[in-house]
Amino acid sequence: MNKTTSTYLRQLGFWLRFQGVEGPRVVTILLEVRTHVAESSEDPYETFGEPRAYAKAFAEGSRRRWLWGTALVIAVAASIASVYLLASEVASHRDYRPLPFGGHAWVVVAVALVAALIAWRAFLVVAVRPLSSLAYDESAASSSWRTWIVHRRDTTVAVVVVLIVGSVLWGWSLGNDFLKSPQVRASNYVWAIGSSGTPTFGVNPVSIGATMVIYVTSPGPKIKIVNLSLSRHSAGGYDPSVNIIPYPTLESANRGAHNHNFGGTDDLAVGTTLKFGTYYLLQFGGEIDTAYNAMQPAESLIVDYSVNDVANGALRITLPVTYN
Q: Which residue(s) pair with 323 in the sheet? A: 194
Tell me the torsion sign for CA atoms 68, 35, 50, 120: positive
Do 148 and 66 fall into the same domain? yes
User: Containing domain of residue 116, as a range?
Assistant: 3-180
* Same domain (yes/no): 190, 175: no
What is the tens place of the pLDDT at every residue in 218-239?
777 788 999 888 876 665 556 6
Q: Is 80 exceeded by the pLDDT of residue 191?
A: yes
pLDDT score, position 203? 60
Shared-domain flag, residues 159 and 231: no
Which has the minimum average pLDDT: 158-162, 209-213, 244-248? 158-162
Residues 160 and 14 in one domain: yes
78 vs 176, more confident: 78
| Structural domain count, the chain | 2
Statement to judge: residues 193 and 314 lie in one domain = yes
Co-location of 210 and 229 in the same domain: yes
pLDDT band at residue 324 under the 50/70/90 scheme: low
The stretch 297-321 carries a mean pLDDT of 83
Based on the domain organization, do 230 and 285 belong to the same domain? yes
pLDDT category at 212 given cuts 50, 70, 90 is: very high
Averaged pLDDT, 8-36: 84
CATH number for 190: 2.60.40
- Environment class of 286 (CB within 10 Å of its CB; exposed 0-12, middle 13-18, buried 19+): buried
Q: How far apart are CA 83 and CA 91, in angstroms?
A: 12
Q: Which of 148, 180, 212 is the last residue of a domain?
A: 180
In terms of domains, do 26 and 167 share one?
yes
Q: Are residues 172 and 192 in the same domain?
A: no
Which of 136, 158, 180 terminates a domain? The answer is 180
pLDDT band at 97 (very low <50, low <70, confident <90, very high): very low
Query: Is the domain of 122 the same as that of 240?
Result: no
* pTM given for the model: 0.48
Q: 237 and 116, same structural domain?
A: no
199 and 107 fall within a common domain: no
